[in-house]
Structure 1
Amino acid sequence: MLNIAERHQVIINKLQQEGYVAVVDLCKELKVSPVTIRKDLKLLEKKGLLFKTHGGATQQNPYTVDRPVNEKEKIQSIEKLKIANVAAQLVHDNDSIIIASGTTVQALAKAIHVKGNLIVVTAALNVALELIKEDNVEIIQLGGVLRKSSTSVTGNYAKEALKDFFCSKLFLGVDGIDLEFGLTTTNSMEAQINREMIKVSQKTIVLADSTKFGKKGFGKICGFEDIDQIITDSGITESTVKALESMGVEVTIAE
């Protein structure tokens, strides 16, 4: 049986190779109890060598922080463009859709070019400003309290207005996707608006680059039972794809 220093080295090596370790897998490999592995992970976290998560550990901090939209749009910009182009193919003439908030759905707004009429309900000012360039797109801008960091509105005005609509698709941006916890954003008020959007949409499509997986924001939007499809980039791991598909979520990788 390996001693504590040897166990820790195995854990660190596995993290460096895979980016994530599961308690169950470590128990089998090291032939020790879950209690022992959890103690090992706690000690390694104190040393700043990993971040504990539910059922395992990761190299990257799983907790997201709120950032200004002009800063966020520069992150993973190529991946967001690919995701947006794939998502835009799902928008059809004479459609009625909801576009939530975030820089990935802003990229979608730039990529939408339909020949027929299109109705778009949105909480995000940056989305509306992109779509205003399209003559045949009718924009319904939700009102409420404006969050400057995301240029989107929250609050009861927006929630009440959503009750008057029913749309074929919701294109949803998120800050974190955790296989145990679900889909999250950094703001709880925004999470509430997103939940209302899900209620009045026939299909919910999440646009998220691969860096969002394994992350958690403060406000939970929903579980995986409430979404139909995730469009992401090739950075997503095969194990994550399989886990999502086992929960009934269609995964589309934008190449």
Structure 2
Amino acid sequence: MIIFDPMSTLVERHQHILGALKKKGSVQVVDLCQELNVSSVTIRKDLQFLEDKNQLFRTHGGATLTNPYIGDRSVIEKVGIKSAEKEKIGQYGASLIEPNDSILIASGTTVFYLAKNIQPKGNVTVLTSALNVAIEIAHHPGIEVIQLGGIMRKTSSSVTGVYAEKILEDFSCSKLFLGVDGIDLEFGLTTSNIQEAQLNRKMIAAARKTIILADSSKFGKRAFGKICDLDGIEQIITDSGVSPHIVTELEAKGLEVTVLSV
């Protein structure tokens, strides 16, 4: 790690920040303070300046090269993004399914990788809102699939609405495996569709434990629909691209964070 003189020029600091962003995709204020040997006030002013120049986007505790506010994209478009990370996360999530378990699986590309990796021990009951998840696991003789009904969202190949929410009132599951579009330390968990966010809240209420499956690109992002605050979940499974600073903050909030090497 290069330690800069505290009197390093404005231009040198900005070059260092943009170089770190280009290399890692995101940076944290605490890390930049150590690397540049300056105060957090100075770093935040630097980030504000660079954001005003449209060279980065500020996030909670840092900055990113990509816009942290997420729009709705189709599952077909998203399935190939971070596929190695999603595969590893899906494998680990599937290992948490116990014999004779009753679980909920929400929609999204990361939970689809979970579905691909389920090797049931004993009989397992799966409730899901995602049509692609239901089709993927339907061939397993040891899995009973309960498909939630409602209005189908074409972008996510999943259902939403009052019918799906009403069905959930009749069930209590051990675990919910939930994919999200954004994880923000202040704002919480979000998805790009408000109806899906509402259904996700009902799913959380129907499960004894909520496990978030999210690759590291989801941290520091916000989508339109808020699902819940971070205290509404128990565990996050992600990959080693996540900032150690973020992991520390999540653990300080009482969350179990599983970081997988990819």
TM-score (norm 2): 0.87
Name which of 142, 146, 161 aligns with 1:136.
142
What residue is the counterpart of 2:27 in the other structure? 20
Is 1:20–1:59's contact at 8 Å kept on the other side of the alignment? no
User: What pairs up with 1:23-34 in 2 under 5 angstroms?
Assistant: 30=38, 34=41
Deviations 1:41-83 (A, max 9, x none): 4442232111123454333321222211112111111111111
Matched, 1:118 2:121: no
Secondary structure of 1:169 counterpart: strand
Name which of 61, 65, 72 aligns with 2:67.
61
Offset at residue 188 of structure 1 (A):
1.0
Name which of 164, 170, 184 aligns with 2:170.
164
Name which of 8, 13, 17 aligns with 1:10.
13
Offset at residue 30 of structure 1 (A):
4.4
Q: After the TM superposition, which parts of structure 1 deviate over 6 Å for at least 4 consecutive aligned residues?
A: none
Which letter does structure 1 place at the counterpart of 2:152? L
Distance across 2 between alignment mates of 1:8 and 1:156: 55
Offset at residue 22 of structure 1 (A):
3.0
User: What pairs up with 1:28-177 in 2 under 5 angstroms?
Assistant: 30=38, 34=41, 40-177=46-183
Secondary structure of 1:225 counterpart: helix
User: In the comparison of the two structures, how many residue pairs are matched?
Assistant: 251
Q: Which runs of 5+ in 1 are unaligned?
A: none
Offset at residue 159 of structure 1 (A):
1.0
Secondary structure of 2:68 counterpart: coil
Distance across 1 between alignment mates of 2:192 and 2:181: 7
Inter-CA distance 81–200: structure 2 relative to 1 (3 Å threshold):
same
Secondary structure of 1:114 counterpart: coil
Distance across 2 between alignment mates of 1:140 and 1:85: 22
Is 1:23–1:38's contact at 8 Å kept on the other side of the alignment? no
Inter-CA distance 23–161: structure 2 relative to 1 (3 Å threshold):
same
Offset at residue 241 of structure 1 (A):
1.2
Distance across 2 between alignment mates of 1:23 and 1:238: 11
What residue is the counterpart of 1:213 in the other structure? 219
Offset at residue 9 of structure 1 (A):
4.1
TM-score (norm 1): 0.89
What residue is the counterpart of 2:3 in the other structure? none
Is 2:188–2:226's contact at 8 Å kept on the other side of the alignment? yes
Offset at residue 254 of structure 1 (A):
2.5
Matched, 1:226 2:232: yes
Inter-CA distance 233–40: structure 2 relative to 1 (3 Å threshold):
closer
Offset at residue 109 of structure 1 (A):
0.8
Distance across 2 between alignment mates of 1:37 and 1:115: 52
Is 2:60–2:220's contact at 8 Å kept on the other side of the alignment? no
Is 2:100–2:121's contact at 8 Å kept on the other side of the alignment? no
Inter-CA distance 243–15: structure 2 relative to 1 (3 Å threshold):
farther
**Alignment root-mean-square deviation, CA:** 2.4
Deviations 1:70-97 (A, max 9, x none): 1211111111111111111111111100
Return 146-155 or 14-23, whichever deviates more. 14-23
Inter-CA distance 141–54: structure 2 relative to 1 (3 Å threshold):
same
Secondary structure of 2:70 counterpart: coil
Is 1:176–1:217's contact at 8 Å kept on the other side of the alignment? yes
Distance across 2 between alignment mates of 1:148 and 1:248: 36
